[in-house]
Structure 1
Amino acid sequence: MRIRRILATGIATAALAGLGLTGAATATAAALTPIQGPVSALTPGECTDGGGTVDWTPTPANPHTGTCKGGTGNGQAVD
């Protein structure tokens, strides 16, 4: 009878310790994951400051925006 109680206590302790470890691992993973928001369009100044030029030719995908050509913002929308 005493062995069963000790065994039950050991199993309960191991289960609670396991929950604590998974919670800590989840919290660590969440802290290391960067928050990613929606991708916004560049301003014309950001495009030219990055070494690119703004192409205002309308495209079907972005009819009211331009596209940054070259530089660090190459291919991104310019609004």
Structure 2
Amino acid sequence: MRIRRKVAAVIATAALAGLGLTGAATATAQGAPSVVTPSECRQGGGTPAINEEGNFCRGGTHDGEQVD
């Protein structure tokens, strides 16, 4: 009986920890859109589309982020 309780407690703790991490990742992903510099866009492997409407970074790790 004691072993079952310990196993259940470990599983419950792991499940709650996983939910906490998922919630944090979701909050970060849904935050305000970030703004990057043209050099940050290039360093991430993208191309700053400054002359186009919206001034976004195209491609790379900053794809779709606004370039300032």
Aligned to 1:69: 58
Unaligned 5+ segments in structure 1 are 1-23
The higher radius of gyration belongs to 1
- How many positions carry a matched residue from both structures? 49
Of 44, 47, 60, 1:50 maps to: 44
Identical aligned residues as a percent: 41
Q: Any idea what SS the aligned residue of 1:47 has?
A: helix
Normalising by structure 1, report the TM-score.
Answer: 0.45
Instruction: Give the deviation of 1:58 after TM superposition.
Output: 4.0
Name the amino acid aligned to 1:68.
Answer: C
Name the amino acid aligned to 2:36.
Answer: L
Normalising by structure 2, report the TM-score.
Answer: 0.50
1:31–1:51: structure 2 CA closer, same or farther, 3 Å change rule? same
RMSD over equivalenced CA pairs, Å: 2.5
Name the amino acid aligned to 1:69.
Answer: R
Runs of 4+ in structure 1 over 3 Å off: none
Q: Any idea what SS the aligned residue of 2:39 has?
A: helix
Unaligned 5+ segments in structure 2 are 1-11
